[in-house]
Amino acid sequence: MTYVEPHHLIHRTGWLRAAVMGANDGIVSVASLLMGVAAAGADKPEVLLAGVAGLMAGAMSMAAGEYVSVSSQADLEDADIARELHELEHNPDAEMRELAFIYEGWGMSKETALKAAEELSENNPLNAHLRDELGITENGEAQPMQAAVTSAFTFAFGAAFPLVAVILFAHEYALYSVGVSTVFALVILGAFGAKAGGAPFTRAITRVVVWGVLAMALTSGIGYLFGVSL
């Protein structure tokens, strides 16, 4: 009987997190901005200007934020890798015993754990320590540029939905058109995230729609209050 390895999705973690977060921020933040400005009584050109400015500023902010934060993670990983290399070079026996202790904690017998640690230490001890001691794997390795580009692109893509709605529909329907297009975009985003991550569709869609609607409702209310007072 031939063994078929199941198809795992963990290798998507890096780009999927950045993509979903970027798109969600683009949709919700720009839609909320548009609805707040429109509710305050601004004309269509002013609403569009606010939306375009929000798209550009948000995309660059997402790129910079992701690059800086993931670079900090990469710096921490590099420092730990250098530390492990130094320890393996100067005290390999202690490092092997450390691996054995980890495997004992996973449920192996003392003899089996020591045997596994010895074999791994003969083959590729650095990889064993990075994976089993520090939890650093190839799938989870920090990639700052990938995160920055993915977040910026998906933010702009998500923000385009409410902006196009403002362009296509009459200004008096701005609140409705932005609201409907945003919910539609959030449903697509939730379904995409669920499909790519292997999660239940209903839960993934519900959480993005609920938070998006809440953000739009709050900003619309604030915009209306400012519009009335001014």
Query: For residue 33, how far is the Cα from the chain centroid?
Result: 22
- Average the pLDDT over 68-76 and give the result: 86
Mind listing the pLDDT tens digit for each residue in 194-209?
Answer: 887 777 888 889 998 9
pTM flag (> 0.85): no
What confidence tens digit (pLDDT) does each residue in 91-113 have? 888 888 888 888 888 888 888 88
CA-closest candidate to residue 38, choices 212, 166, 149: 166
Mean pLDDT (whole number) for 165-181: 90
Render pLDDT for 50-68 as a digit per residue (tens, 0 to 9). Answer: 999 999 999 999 899 989 9
Q: Which residue did the predictor score with more confidence, 13 or 156?
A: 156
The amino acid present at 121, given as its one-letter code, is S
Return the minimum-mean-pLDDT range out of 19-23, 85-89, 136-140: 136-140
Alpha-carbon span 223 to 40, nearest angstrom: 4
217 or 131, greater pLDDT: 217
| Distance (Å) of CA 18 to CA 62, 109, 155, 218 | 9, 41, 10, 25
- Collapsed DSSP state (helix, strand, coil) of residue 169: coil
